[in-house]
Structure 1
Amino acid sequence: MLYILQRLSRKKVRYRVRKTLANARPRVKGRFVKTDQPLTAAAVEEMEKARTPSSKAKSATKPNTSDNDFDYVGAYYSGEDSVRDDVQDMLRLIVASKREQGEDINWEEWASQLEHSILSLLPSQYVESPFPEVFSDVANTLGDAEEDCSMETFVRAVRAGTMYVAICLSQYISLRPPSMWEHDDDVSPVLQHYLPEIKQLWAQRRMKKNQTFEFMEGAIPGIAAVVCLGYADGKRHLKPIIL
């Protein structure tokens, strides 16, 4: 009887509840690292000073600190709808071209390459994602594309990844003048491609962050092509942007 009472009085052990598929899904690896700390202009300035010689840092133009309340997360979610047709049309063009060349479309293989393609378009300073909420959405969308292996989920993943690249590059160029990164080998090839236009943006008086976002938003169809084909094959779709 005593043994039974001892067994009944034992402390109950709580077992972990199994995660949902979305939470259990492997997150995007590499440069996508979640962080809750926002990237500020002051932090950028300190970071750039630490990684460049002092004489060069003194001569560099200070990052733009105006208009710091731009909602990049909101721009990502609203932009996903506004660029839907542009991204889909670009992918249809790419798929049609591949099929004309006699290439088979393997959606599983294409989806598995998206992560690397997206990461290759981000500057090296973005080892930690400045937008954790958006990062989670992109990671889940990439996971859907790899699991479903369909054109529908692939297009959705490209659209999400392209918008993520656009807001990251938009923030990057709003905080750093071209003189701070134009000779950096680790900067995004998209930024190098549009370097003359970005210099024109910075030449404007009182440039605002919404201007840099609108600039990168204009490049989204081309960025989608680069995400799918790589920069070497996709750069022909990066059309000039009229300021």
Structure 2
Amino acid sequence: MGTPTGLGEPLIEAVLRRLPRLLGGRPVQLYEEGLVLVSDGRPRRWADVTHWRSTMDVTVGQDERHGIGWYVCGHRHRLRFADGVEQAFIVDEWQIQVGSADRDRPENQRIRSVVEHVRQWVADAQVPAMLDRLEAGRQVTFGPLTADADGLFVPGGLSAYRWADLREPRLDADLPDWSVPSSWWPKRRDARLSLRCGDGHRTELPAWEVVNWGALVALWKRLGAR
């Protein structure tokens, strides 16, 4: 497999074997600096992404005959590029049996590292312009969230988190627990972006609704350290 000009190396063999795909089912190849839709071969760069949505879906299933439960974590992304074109892809982790002690399989760790790589590349490209906007006294929106130089406002503007008080925003997903009845296991659902302060104050939002939350985390790292 050749490397498109300027996109660097293919991202980790574990991801290539999982066949990342667009939401329409067409395969896509992921590289260090962008992606290529296999059908037309046109490369697109992470640095050209203007809007990025990402979440993790947990899909739970059960073998009724043998009573074995399993789940798959799927990393779902939708990217809008500077020319207005949108592309989306999913990378599924390897299936894990419910109750298995091996919840952090090396292959899945590598898949998550690729997801983190994409998030970081997109965020690094977006954050400089966002910082300029905040330093000019303006605001930046992340879907339902609004940020200024001092902090982050949740929907409705009635509650705010100061950057200095906010812990790192993180993605939370409900994994099935083998010790409870299977009827209580989570079905496919959107992961949550969790905002927390040291005083226990907490807000959770569907991660898919928070646009560019990777850049939000990068801003927190910059502004929270001031």
TM-score category, normalised to shorter length: 0.3 to 0.5
The two structures have a TM-score, normalised by structure 2, of 0.33
TM-score by length of 1: 0.31
**Structure with the higher fraction of residues in helix conformation:** 1
- Structure number with higher strand proportion: 2
